[in-house]
Structure 1
Amino acid sequence: MGKKLKLFAILLLTMALVLGGCSSNKSQGSSGSSASKKIVLGFNPWPGYFPWYIAQEKGFFKKYGLDVQLKQFSALSGMLNALSSGQLDAAGVTINDMIVPLSKGVDLKAVGVYDISNGGDAFVVNKNIKSFNDLKGKRVATELGTVDHLLMLEGMKKAGLKESDVQFSNMDISDAGNALISGKLDGASLYEPFISKATSSGKAKVLFSSADMPGLITDVIAVKGSLAKSDPKDVENLLRAWYDALDYWHKHPDESMKIMAKAANTPVNEYKDVYKTIKIYNLDESINAFKKANDYSSLYYTGQETAKFLKGQQMITGNPDLNKALDVQFLKKLQAGK
């Protein structure tokens, strides 16, 4: 009889611990999120994505009950392949970069906006080049089919040139920057911090940049469609962690810059200058970008124009369903305070 009572007591204690653990998990995060599976969040070295390191360092993921692994890729192509194959749950990409996987049936959702490039992407040339016309027959490079490729072609088009007027090579951005500095290229379409590294060498200068075409390059928070459908609270909390990181950056600029510069393996004073060419969007600005308009302020318009460009490059055949891919509901819940 005594053994049965002891066994019963042990069972009661075990149940209490299990129930207590469940209750503890459900209380994680101010939004009431339960403990979640790991979210792998990938991005390339674009500085607009680096506030995620503030979120990681200051515990904002844990605050909302999230287990997030940040994964940085040296090349955009590698990151896009990982996103398209399902190895990533979320990513930092431009709306332009989403078009190819969307056209192939990959289920992705753009759920927020990081920033727009306001000079953070540029066509950089040998310091002796004075205009696009000087590039006829010269060697230029960037990553094929990317937004920096599009930016280069837009600059050439304004000058009355076609891609066939130059010797184009498909090259990773970091490699293209190094090749430009070493004199192996005459021009390269780059993004920060590779622009600054090239121009600070004294051997190169900016000829044309995203500041000449505002809104052309807009970076978005992309997630797998399955994550948005099965774990919508995780998506909301991921956005909450992002805006907490931006708020912390605003209140503690020096500490935040040190965190991001360390992650970028770049001196703080150099990295600080990079953000002069990037406009980080707040919540309201991000929501406004999801509205339909006939200019690059709209994600719909930018996506449509990018699809035209990629068709011209024979990289896609059909039009992606932007109405399905652009999902503003999560931002609106944050705005409503839900």
Structure 2
Amino acid sequence: MKLKHFLVPVLASLTLATQAMAAEPFKVGYIRVMDDAQAIAAYEGKFYEKQGLDVQLVEFKSGTDLIKAIVGGQLDTGVLGFTNAASWSSRGADLKVVSGAQRGFHALVVRDDAGINKVSDLKGHTLASQKEGSTADVVLKGVVLKDAGLKPDDLTIMGVSPQVAVQSLVGKRVDAAFLFEPQASIVQEIAPVKQIYEIGEVWPFPCMVTITSAATLKAKKDLVWKSLDAQQQAIELLQQHPNDAAKLISGYFIAEPTLKTLKHGDVPRDKIIADAIKTQTYSAALTPKDVSRMQEVANIMQAQGSLKTQDGKPFDVNKIVDLDWQHARHL
């Protein structure tokens, strides 16, 4: 057989394989909270597309389920809490935090009739928060309650989704809720409740980050970096033009064009979401202070027993933080 006759089918097969790889979507996981708005805005604003990426945005109900998909290879990247990466890495998963996303907004919202005016008043009450071991759960127990002189068993804590937390507060099944945006803003519009605390004001920390697996980063570094470029563009939109950003993402959080509020009647959903965006601090960069605060969070997790290293030594967050993209972009 002549060489060219042999090469033709081989090259054809390689071409088909390359086309198949190119056609495979780049999968980005997210949770339907304002903390993940940059992933949603990057998708709806076609920032991923402008980077040449065919992105499939995949919604998850919890960070635990999202991180499992990354570890299992079903997702390329995801925007979720740092605590998930730390917990799974301590058990042997080879994960990388490749950028920042949002700095920790978690608001303590209470019913007007519950008699709660400060965090220490939560003693003996019922509070809806996120699932045990989540970022919200870690900082609630390890920072918010601790600073107020409370122990977790001084109150009843329900681990539920943000949506269920809002429903529980509105339905008076709980006295308080520890909420992300936009749920914190939405519930204050539709129920007689008030916000008494927000952790980002007193203990800022990098709540949400972009996570991938080391294997994905090695095999698809160019694609991962392009996705981060797109999310950085989305962050700039969120920070500089919240009203425009709200038009892209408000439908993800409020189904109807308007929301019926207690004090202002029907309010356009875009306004509510724009106001919620303004409460957030988005940043793709992770500063040395951010990494130090992440180490503090990891230390809290170890003290709580939710993070255990194989050698019993303190977990080192530097082992899972990869800032190559950030440095290349001079962020």
Q: TM-score range by the shorter chain?
A: 0.7 to 0.9
Does 1:187 find its partner at 2:189? no
Which runs of 5 or more residues in structure 2 are unaligned? 256-268
The aligned residue for residue 327 of structure 1 is 322
2:294 match: secondary structure: helix
The aligned residue for residue 221 of structure 2 is 232
CA contact (8 A) 1:45 1:72 kept: yes
Q: 1:132 to 1:61 in 2, by over 3 A?
A: closer
TM-score when scaled to structure 2?
0.80
Aligned residue among 159, 162, 185 for 1:170: 159
The aligned residue for residue 295 of structure 2 is 304
Offset at 1:90?
0.5
The aligned residue for residue 283 of structure 2 is 281
Paired letter, 1:308: N
Does 1:42 find its partner at 2:29? yes
Q: 1:66 to 1:194 in 2, by over 3 A?
A: same
How far apart are the structure 1 equivalents of 2:228 and 2:322?
13
Paired letter, 2:213: K
CA contact (8 A) 2:44 2:249 kept: no
Aligned-residue CA RMSD in angstroms?
3.0
Offset at 1:103?
1.1
How far apart are the structure 1 equivalents of 2:133 and 2:74?
22
The aligned residue for residue 111 of structure 2 is 126
The aligned residue for residue 31 of structure 1 is none
The aligned residue for residue 269 of structure 1 is 271
Offset at 1:116?
1.0
Offset at 1:244?
3.0
Does 1:80 find its partner at 2:67? yes
How far apart are the structure 2 equivalents of 1:152 and 1:332?
32
How far apart are the structure 1 equivalents of 2:36 and 2:149?
34
Offset at 1:247?
4.5
Paired letter, 1:241: A
Q: 1:157 to 1:66 in 2, by over 3 A?
A: same
Q: 1:103 to 1:131 in 2, by over 3 A?
A: same
1:268 match: secondary structure: helix
Offset at 1:112?
1.0
Offset at 1:222?
1.0
How far apart are the structure 2 equivalents of 1:36 and 1:330?
24
1:178 match: secondary structure: helix
Offset at 1:38?
2.3
The aligned residue for residue 258 of structure 1 is 247
How far apart are the structure 2 equivalents of 1:53 and 1:208?
27
How far apart are the structure 1 equivalents of 2:111 and 2:237?
39
Does 1:97 find its partner at 2:84? yes
* Number of equivalences: 301
How far apart are the structure 2 equivalents of 1:161 and 1:253?
37
TM-score when scaled to structure 1?
0.78
CA distances 1:101-156 after superposition (whole Å, capped 9, x unpaired): 11111111111111213xx3112222231233332222123221222223322222
CA contact (8 A) 1:210 1:217 kept: no
CA contact (8 A) 1:61 1:238 kept: yes
The aligned residue for residue 223 of structure 1 is 212
CA contact (8 A) 1:122 1:206 kept: yes
CA contact (8 A) 2:29 2:77 kept: yes
Q: Judge which range, 243-252 or 75-84, deviates more.
A: 243-252
How far apart are the structure 2 equivalents of 1:171 and 1:250?
29
Look at both structures and tell me which one has the larger radius of gyration over its CA atoms.
Answer: 1
CA distances 1:237-265 after superposition (whole Å, capped 9, x unpaired): 11222223345557765443211112333
Which runs of 5 or more residues in structure 1 are unaligned? 1-7, 26-33, 292-296
2:190 match: secondary structure: coil
CA contact (8 A) 1:147 1:217 kept: no
Q: How does 1:49-60 map to 2 (within 5 A)?
A: 49-60=36-47
Q: 1:258 to 1:75 in 2, by over 3 A?
A: same
How far apart are the structure 1 equivalents of 2:238 and 2:249?
10
**Percent of paired sites with the same residue:** 23
Q: 1:180 to 1:304 in 2, by over 3 A?
A: same
